[in-house]
């Protein structure tokens, strides 16, 4: 048992700086005990969805013990807010589920914030080649800066063929879907190599056509996941070391009173060159 | 484990305690949103914490909600699932983050 002062230093305090997890976790239910916070019986993804969220001056966070993370002093606030959701979604749903391994050939479909978070965190594992597939040359240029080895503009509808040509017909070991529409899922199923993995990170609103007639003998696997946020402590350490700087994805900052303008900028992301749009409330404390 | 040593400015706590409202962005049906006054949240359950948001961000999912793609979202719901902030208040059952 820890002594009193240790207990005090561990306990949460008013005035602490915290990262709010996009997923609320009670840490006690059967799903939480399996590390599947996304399906917590008392939480999961509720914030800004079924429960009042964070685009406000104040927020009530239920199950606070499992849903807040103290952050280290001196951290960059842009890096921290990227840990609320996108860094972990890219890492858990994309990189981890795709089992990116040293030497792999990796394709990321979609160079939006989540696809770029996949790009940043996939490099923990030294893939040999990283293809980034997107319609927008501006986003592809950013992806190039962040470590992509080969850019593929998909606006001519021939992205899958180009990836197959570039891999001598083999395809890629890991294809990560980071958009959430049938066209981007189709690219993934067309380019996955024998023995490969498709990891879906996109939020889909429409059915896709699964080409099992082509995939049944490919020894491939397909995974889906809602971010569980279980890698937060690990990612915090990597951010603290400076080896992961997800704050690079922030392109625009607005005071929270200008939130309507911020939404317009983010909704016209291609025209505005926007990735992550950050809202600040009052003076930063750190 | 180390924690950030942060102090709330004394004026902040005093000013905030007087106010019962806050600004927030609320959903009001497909395509409709409003930045306006909402009641400030209070502890309702011992496991709750009240956080003063210092930084938040907009996600593609927020745009899906705004479009009306997620019908479970009800009128008046405040947007946003990403953020960092300062702990204002904790319920009696909160022990450790």
Residue B46, C-beta contacts closer than 8 angstroms, at least 6 positions apart: B91, B92, B93, B94
Q: Residue A160 has which token pair?
A: 């899958």
Quote the tokens at residue A143.
Answer: 């992806």
Rounded distance between C-alpha atoms, residue A115 and residue A122, angstroms: 10
pLDDT of residue A282: 80
Q: Which of residues 166-205 of A touch B (CB under 8 A)?
A: 203, 205
Alpha helices in chain A (DSSP H): 4-10, 30-33, 64-67, 77-81, 86-88, 113-122, 137-145, 159-166, 182-191, 212-215, 232-241, 259-267, 269-272
Which tens digit of pLDDT belongs to each residue from B38-82? Answer: 999 999 999 999 999 999 999 999 999 999 989 999 999 999 999
Residues 6 or more apart in contact with residue A25 via CB below 8 angstroms: A32, A37, A40, A43, A44, A63, A66, A67, A229
pLDDT digits (tens, 9 = 90+) for A183-209: 999 999 999 999 999 999 998 989 999
Count of all residues that appear for chain A in the document = 286
Task: Compute the average pLDDT of residues A105-134.
Answer: 97
pLDDT tens-digit readout, A227-239: 999 999 999 999 9
The pTM (predicted TM-score) of the whole model is 0.89
> In chain B, which among 38-97 make CB contacts under 8 A with chain A?
38, 40-45, 47-66, 69-70, 72-73, 77-91, 94-97
Q: How far apart are CA A50 and CA B46, in angstroms?
A: 20
- Contact (CB, 8 A) for B23 and A31: no
Interface confidence, given as ipTM, is 0.89
Which pair of tokens denotes residue B61? 């999912």
What DSSP assignment string belongs to A18-61? Answer: EEEPSSB--S-SHHHHTT-GGG-TT-BS-BTTTB--SSBSEEEE
Q: Which among B6, B24, B56 is the nearest to A16, CB-wise?
A: B6
- Please tell me which of the candidates B1, B44, B60 has its beta carbon nearest to residue A112: B60
Confidence of residue A285 (pLDDT cuts 50, 70, 90): very low
Chain A residues 105-164 within an 8 A CB cutoff of chain B? 112-114
What integer pLDDT is reported at residue B6 of this predicted model?
A: 45
Do the beta carbons of residue A138 and residue A270 sit within 8 Å? yes
Instruction: Give the model's pLDDT for residue A11.
Output: 57
Check residues A146 and A84 and name the one with the higher pLDDT: A146
- Is the separation of the CB atoms in A232 and A79 below 8 Å? no
- Cβ distance of A48 and B79 shorter than 8 Å: yes
State the Cα–Cα distance between residues A85 and A228, nearest whole angstrom. 10
Using the predicted structure, report yes or no on whether residue B13 has a pLDDT greater than 70. Answer: no
pLDDT for B17 equals: 55
Token reading at A35 = 């590390």
Name the average pLDDT for chain B: 86
Statement: residue B18 has pLDDT above 70? no
Confidence bin at A75 (pLDDT 50/70/90): confident
Q: What is the pLDDT of residue B10?
A: 40
pLDDT for the residue numbered B41 = 98
Model confidence at A72, pLDDT cuts 50, 70, 90, reads confident
pLDDT at site A73 = 75
């Amino acid at each position: 048992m820890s002594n009193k002062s240790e207990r005090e230093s561990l306990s949460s305090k008013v005035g602490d700086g915290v990262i709010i997890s996009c997923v609320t976790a009670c840490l006690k239910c059967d799903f939480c005990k399996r590390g599947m916070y996304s399906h917590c019986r008392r939480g999961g993804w509720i914030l800004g969805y079924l429960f009042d969220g964070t685009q406000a001056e104040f927020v009530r966070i239920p199950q606070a013990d499992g849903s807040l993370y103290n952050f280290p002093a001196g951290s960059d606030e842009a890096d921290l807010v990227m840990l609320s959701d996108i860094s972990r979604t890219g890492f858990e749903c994309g990189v981890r589920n795709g089992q990116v391994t040293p030497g792999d050939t990796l394709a990321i479909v979609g160079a939006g914030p989540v696809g770029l978070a996949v790009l940043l965190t996939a490099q923990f594992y030294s893939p040999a080649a990283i293809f980034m597939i997107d319609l927008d040359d501006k986003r592809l240029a950013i992806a190039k800066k962040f470590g992509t080895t080969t850019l593929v503009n998909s606006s001519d509808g021939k992205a899958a063929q180009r990836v197959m040509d570039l891999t001598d017909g083999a395809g890629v070991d890991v294809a990560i879907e980071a958009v959430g529409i049938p066209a981007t899922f189709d690219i993934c199923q067309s380019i996955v190599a024998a023995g490969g993995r498709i990891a879906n990170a996109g939020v889909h609103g429409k059915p896709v056509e699964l080409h099992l007639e082509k995939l049944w003998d490919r020894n491939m696997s397909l995974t889906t996941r809602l971010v569980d946020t279980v890698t937060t402590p690990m990612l915090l350490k990597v951010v603290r070391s400076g080896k992961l700087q997800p704050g690079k994805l922030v392109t625009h900052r607005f005071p929270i009173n200008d939130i309507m303008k911020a939404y317009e900028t983010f909704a016209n992301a291609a025209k505005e060159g926007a990735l992550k749009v950050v809202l600040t409330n009052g003076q930063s404390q750190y | 484990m180390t924690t950030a040593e942060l102090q709330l400015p004394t004026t902040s706590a005093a000013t905030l305690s007087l106010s019962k409202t806050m600004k927030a962005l609320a959903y009001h049906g497909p395509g409709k949103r409003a930045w306006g006054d909402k009641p400030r949240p209070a502890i309702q359950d011992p496991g709750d914490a009240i956080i003063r948001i210092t930084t938040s961000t907009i996600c593609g999912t927020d745009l899906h909600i705004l479009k009306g793609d997620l019908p479970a979202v009800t009128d008046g719901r405040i947007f946003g699932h990403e953020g960092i902030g300062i702990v204002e208040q904790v319920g009696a059952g909160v022990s450790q983050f």
